[in-house]
A and B are shown apart, each in its own frame.
Chain A
């Protein structure tokens, strides 16, 4: 008995020891969690905390509010965190850099947050070729450079830096300086009172978004760079707000610029896109292209500037869909193009109430759409008529008399392009039947039209009474064209009754003619199926009897003449029992 109990005990002991041993050796030894070191509670200075042997990669150095007169060198991958950015101050007393970052990696990026960083040569200098630094939520002021990053050309750019939600103030030379770099994010910063708010050179695939730039000489200054996105920034009272030189494939979109001597300028920069910006109320120039080719300037608003759109020595640009209004000069061009083989294409723009709609030299540009039907621009001072004169089409929205307007536009638009004329409509709702049995699928065709001058995308909803059957999106419907949408209404779960159908097109922006956005058309009577109405014509008659005879004797598994509608008792065979049921309803109507 004792032997019997001892052996299992030893076995269990052996298993337990083995298991524990295996667990001990196979459980990965994870790095200790990051520690937090406090200044001045744990270390008297920030530098002492960084230099401490206990401080390791990933640790947080948490700094209490005070003024720290230091030149901090970060040579470990740590997170330097101030408790309150307004009251946790690092001050270099005008000697050297306030913070110098000598190491950072994508795996363990150095993060600096929550400080006022002031009175240095550089607020934060990241030494050459170090990347992935995250600077978020600081006040960086009264330095010569706010933040300076530089890569190591030609092979090692500084990469993946994040500069987010900081206030840069009165950094005398540059707020954010980045050279030879890739794929940075600069967003939600306020930058003011610098010679250069942002200065990017040889810096690609970087996003500059949602920043507010005020009272800088150059606000966003980009040179020798490519494929950056400049999005949704606000520039106020700068000398040059957005300036790109020797750069290409920059997207400048949805920015708002006012009070600047030069709003948006390209200099020797090709193949860029300037889109949906509002560049208004600038004392001198709005959008200015100099020595710049093959750019796209589209759907911008340039109002109340001295100069609206200006081209100098620039060719093969596309100027489309802009509203240029209430400027002293609407569009100005000289030496653009120098070679007439490379004209600028200028169409679908609105020139409204500029003192001089055009200021120009003898350069020749193309003032119409590239393809038929040719359309030019809208000119508020055009007094011609769309009457079919000169062998042209009347009523097509293009002026036929007094052309070319201002000696350039042979196809002047009668109405502003894209302004208050956007209009979509439902032309008709057509159902495949006016009566249906429950369980049948009813088809609808809804015809919609874009009655405006722009391609439009909008939703169309089909309803029965108040119930939505389906919603569809019409995508990029070309101006002045129709298209048909086809809907299916499955009535399987719908109670019998009369149903009124309507289709509605959601209004497009600025649309005012909403009357034709909805159309109610067609009533459908939905009925319980009438037994014996094999051809579903809502009466049991001789035609149904003929169909029944054709199917007589067939089963659902055999017989090429099988007709499920004739199997009235649903027993998978068409026989006398079904004939009896048909006979009972013969002559009845649904």
Chain B
């Protein structure tokens, strides 16, 4: 069977378009977040410390770190808590991006999660672990996101004494 030129040309153009889409860096299919690590090791909801998130992000094809490609201005925790400081500069190997968030804002968000989950009096010796999402864009607007966990210390309330 012989294909006519009128069919071959559109087919060739379609194949070209598909190829361009696949290899386009804007498609970001090669981006991989390998670590989202939260500090402090135990987050005190009553006396919250600044929350620091360490992100390790790579191009999975080239295995090259993309930490210095993250645009700090785009980074949000849980989709709405803005960064108060971020740094692409790191002496660690592989490099990592560090983002700082206001502890009180994070505490308020976690309190809301706890209330939503109905966790009011967890057993004190089993710290509550909360999963949080951090997301942002690279300088070329490629979106990225990752999740990590933070260990939470929930202060206990003092039960009032009953009347005798």
Contacts and interface: CB of A to CB of B under 8 A. Distances in A.
B153 A224 contact: no
A154 B125 contact: yes
Contacts of B159: 245, 267-268
A290 B47 contact: no
Contacts of B40: 127-128, 150
Interface in B28-54: 40-44, 46-47, 49
A150 B153 contact: yes
A285 B158 CA distance: 17
Contacts of A148: 44, 47
Nearest to A152: B41
A140 interface: no
A549 to B, nearest CB: 88
Contacts of B127: 153-154
Contact of A179 (B49, B153, B164): B153
B153 A153 contact: yes
A313 B41 contact: no
Given A173-B47, A243-B158, A262-B161, A202 B125 contact: yes
A47 B43 CA distance: 25
B161 A223 contact: no
Given A153-B125, A312-B162, A332-B164, A180 B153 contact: yes
B92 to A, nearest CB: 16
Contact of A151 (B42, B47, B164): B42
> What interface size band does chain B fall in?
20 to 34
> Looking at chain A's contact residues, is the secondary structure mostly helix, strand, loop, or mixed?
strand
B44 A179 contact: yes
A125 B126 CA distance: 23
A529 to B, nearest CB: 78
B42 A265 contact: no
Interface residues of A, number: 46
Contact of A202 (B41, B124, B158, B161): B124
Contacts of A359: 164
A159 interface: no
Given A129-B41, A173-B47, A180-B153, A221 B158 contact: yes
Interface in A63-117: none
A223 B158 contact: yes
Nearest to A313: B162
A122 interface: yes
A379 interface: no
Contacts of B151: 152-153
Contacts of B85: none
Nearest to A288: B161
B42 A223 contact: no
Contacts of B126: 153-154
A334 B40 CA distance: 46
Interface string A132-175: 00000000000011001011111010000000000000000110
A262 B164 CA distance: 13
Nearest to A218: B158
A178 to B, nearest CB: 11
Given A153-B153, A154-B125, A154-B126, A245 B158 contact: yes
B79 interface: no
B156 interface: yes
A427 B41 CA distance: 69
B155 interface: yes
A307 B164 contact: yes
Given A150-B42, A288-B164, A313-B162, 14 more contacts: A144-B47, A148-B47, A154-B125, A156-B41, A173-B46, A174-B47, A179-B42, A180-B153, A201-B156, A218-B158, A267-B159, A290-B162, A333-B164, A334-B164
9 contacts: A145-B47, A179-B44, A179-B153, A201-B155, A245-B156, A246-B124, A246-B156, A288-B164, A290-B161
Sort A-B residue pairs by CB-CB distance and give the 10 closest, nearest first.
A128-B40, A128-B41, A224-B124, A152-B41, A128-B42, A153-B127, A332-B164, A310-B164, A152-B42, A290-B161
